[in-house]
Every structure is written in C-alpha cells, then in structure tokens.
Amino acid sequence: MWEAGLLNCDICGREISNQAFKVVVEGAKMLVCSRCQRLGKPYEEEPAPKRSPARGVVGPTVGPIVGPRVIQRRAPDLPRGMDETDIVEDCADRVRRQRMKLGLTQDQLAKSVKEKLSVIQKIEIGKMTPDTRLCRALEHELKIKLLVPHKELSDVPKSAAPAEVTLGDIMRVKGKGNLNVEG
C-alpha cells in the first residue's frame, strides 16, 4: 500500500484521496484507487539490492552483489571504406579460377566457407562483393589473396585537394561568377 499525495488512479484517473494500491493488471504494474483495486492483483515491490560499503569504509558485508549481466558482442565489420584493407578488383575472376583449379564445385566451396551456394554464385559472376569475413574465409580455403592494404596517402598527389576548404571555396552567388565580400 502507498500513502496518497497528489496521485491519480492509473485506471480511472480520479485523484487518490486516502490510500493508493499497487496492483498488476494484465502484466502492467499500476497505482490505483480503492475502487479500482479489485481489477488487478496486489503486488509488493522487491527491495533494491544492498550495495557493499565504499572503499575505505569498514562495515558488515551483505554478500556477493549481483550486478547487471555484461554481454560481450563482437564488433561489427566496418564499412568497406572504413576498413584497413581493400578487396582486389578482379575478386570474382580470382575466386572462380582458383576454385576450378582446385577442382571444387561451387556447392563444395559454399559449404567449406559456411555460406549459401547463391552467394558464391553471385560473387563469381561479379554481382556481389564479399564482406571482409567472407574474403578471409575464401582466402584461407582457396589459398589466394583477395584483401590488400589501403593505398598510402603518399600515393595521392598533394595538389589534389586544398588543405582546408572554406565556405567561400564552395559557394557561388546566383547570377554572379565571383563572390564579393565586404570587410
């Protein structure tokens, strides 16, 4: 039971004048007035788990504290442009040629890399680019190289882009070719 203050019944909306009741109605916990109390089953809130004393504070221990369960998830594959490697351009040809050279069928290759046959077929005809995980599995199974490191920034000519782009560099005034700025 709950002392009423300025509470409204969660079912009928009336102001609860004297005592609020905690009930469960179809799985939802509610504070209700005495009239609506019969519509649900009463429940008691579980007390909050006691925490151990702070470091340096001496006191009785309550026992092991069971905290929230930590779920470790594998980091998702980065988008292709964000990964540290690139897939070779002739990936489809390399996969098809090496599979045939080893005498494997598409179905056998699909089973060995734990993938669907349709995925292997799409990769070989160039309709689909494999993700990093699948590239690594294909590299291992076929003994070929499909992933290469990103090209270094030193390969890109330095005059390709200005070091800093300002709004004036990209803005055009309608009807005029130049931007006039008064200072």
Query: What is the model's pLDDT at position 152?
Result: 45
Q: Is residue 17 part of a domain?
A: yes
In a shared domain, residues 144 and 91: yes
**Percentage helix, strand, coil, to 5, in the chain?**
30, 15, 55
Q: Is residue 64 part of a domain?
A: no
Q: Is residue 50 part of a domain?
A: no
Q: Is residue 179 part of a domain?
A: no
Q: Is residue 105 part of a domain?
A: yes
The HSE-up count of residue 177 (CA atoms within 13 Å, CB side) is 0
Query: What is the model's pLDDT at position 107?
Result: 95
CB 142 within 8 A of CB 135: no
Query: What is the model's pLDDT at position 62?
Result: 52
Q: Is residue 98 part of a domain?
A: yes
Query: What is the model's pLDDT at position 17?
Result: 81
Cα torsion at 27, 28, 30, 36 (round to 10°)?
-60
Q: Is residue 32 part of a domain?
A: yes
- Structural domain including 126 reads 85-149
Query: What is the model's pLDDT at position 29?
Result: 87
| Distance (Å, whole) CA 178 – CA 171 | 9
Query: What is the model's pLDDT at position 34?
Result: 85
Query: How many domains does the chain contain in total?
Result: 2
Q: Is residue 117 part of a domain?
A: yes
SS3 122: helix
What are the DSSP calls for 97-109, one per residue? HHHHHHT--HHHH
Query: What is the model's pLDDT at position 20?
Result: 86
Q: Please report, in tens digits, the pLDDT of each residue of the chain (183 residues total).
A: 454 457 888 888 888 888 888 899 888 888 888 888 888 898 887 776 666 555 555 555 555 555 455 444 455 555 555 557 888 889 999 999 999 999 999 999 999 999 999 999 999 999 999 998 999 999 999 999 998 887 643 454 555 555 676 766 666 555 555 555 554
Query: What is the model's pLDDT at position 70?
Result: 47
Query: What is the model's pLDDT at position 78?
Result: 54
CATH of the domain at 107: 1.10.260.40
